Amino acid sequence: MISFRLHRAGAQGKFGYAADLTVLGKVIGGGFPVGAVAGRQEIMAVFDPRGTGPLVAHAGTFNANPVAMAAGLAALELLTPEAIAGLDELGARCRKEVRDTGSTMVPPATGKWHDPIQPLPFDLAKANQLLDQAGYKMGPGGVRTANGHPMKYQVDFSSDQNGPGDRVFQIIQADYKKIGVQLTQRVLDPSAEFNAITANKYRNYDLAMWYWVPIADPDFILSVYTCSQWNAWNDSGYCNPAYDRLYKQQAVTTDPQKRLQIVYRMQKMIYESRAEIVLVNNDTIDTWSNKWTGFVESPQGLFTQLSKNSLESVHLK
């Protein structure tokens, strides 16, 4: 099988080998219903009606269809080495997003403000070892007991994360089961989830899955974890006077490098407190037709909640 998404000559060209037979899918017709088979001359000779040996009939409804062939030629002309390289780059970015885990609440898209803290390694065996050392013995049904209570917890889940978020929860749920912790999902609309989190001074909920869309400057997302944001933006219940002092200090520090170091200290405090665990940082990938221009690119994409530049400047060339 050949894939033009890998290389203009398919996998053979990318990995440097020559197959006896090659099967080509409908991409050679630009999406039209057509396919092809190709190979070495002595193999393909059996299809040649001019041959003297045994022949193999090769009939098909779309054989030599002029529309499909014209579309295929146009598609192949567009699949230049540069276009293939662009597809490879997008694929590499997507794979990186799948592999990479998050670490701090200030995302990499903010550039220098992101402290590249290395997340702890994923290790179920180590997790089981630590739970054993803590005295949380495995009980009936493969559920551990902590302080006399089974380790069964409810995860409040925002309904606006349905779909991919559900799959993320299923993965987490399955892995927690392997270490003797049972998780159940409770889906709530965003307002109801926030109310559930903040109820009784944040003491009623077990766990919650949420998301944030931080802006380019870290000040806002840093403010979320201050004591003054209880029952407002704060969705974890984290409150630390030392952290609050750093937040006020970074807000008035005019030296960029000094402020950067304060911001790094704050990220480390939140990370080590486990107030919230960042699972992943999702990239926003914007694409547009080359017939248009005037887009204003930013770490948050073309269209953000804080700027209308792209909306006002985009136009046909």
Residue 102 to residue 118: CA distance in whole angstroms: 9
Contact 281, 109 (CB under 8 A): yes
Least confident range of 2-6, 67-71, 193-197, 285-289: 2-6
Task: Sort 280 into a burial class: Cβ within 10 Å, 0-12 / 13-18 / 19+.
Answer: middle
Between CA 317 and CA 314 the distance in angstroms is: 9
Report the pLDDT value the prediction gives residue 17, as an integer from 0 to 100: 83
- CA–CA distance, 279 with 117 (Å, rounded to integer): 13
Mean pLDDT throughout 158-177? 93
Q: What is the pLDDT of residue 10?
A: 78
Sequence ranges of the chain with CATH classification 3.10.105.10: 108-273
Does the domain spanning 10-99 belong to CATH 3.40.640.10? yes
Q: Render 101-156 in DSSP notation, one character per residue.
A: PP-SSS-GGGGGGS--PPPPPP-HHHHHHHHHHTT--B-GGG-BEETTEE-EEEEE
Q: What tens digit of pLDDT does each residue of 183-218 get?
A: 999 999 999 999 999 999 999 999 999 889 888 899
Residues in the chain: 317
Confidence of residue 233 (pLDDT cuts 50, 70, 90): very high
CA 56 – CA 46 distance, rounded (Å):
6
From residue 317, give the alpha-carbon distance in Å to each of 177, 295, 310: 56, 12, 14
Burial of 313 (0-12, 13-18, 19+ CB in 10 A): exposed
pLDDT tens for 263-277 read: 999 999 999 999 999
Q: At what angle do helices 241-252 and 256-273 cross, to 10 degrees?
A: 160
21-43 per-position pLDDT tens digit: 888 877 777 778 888 888 888 88
- The pLDDT, as a whole number, for residue 175 is 97
Q: The domain 108-273 belongs to what CATH superfamily?
A: Dipeptide-binding Protein; Domain 3 (3.10.105.10)
| Structure-block tokens of residue 47 | 């299809």
pTM above 0.75, yes or no: no
Residues with Cβ within 8 Å of 182's Cβ and at least 6 positions away in sequence, in order, are: 141, 143, 150, 151, 152, 153, 176
Residues of the chain with CATH 3.40.640.10: 10-99
Query: With 80 as the cut, is the pLDDT of residue 294 above it?
Result: yes
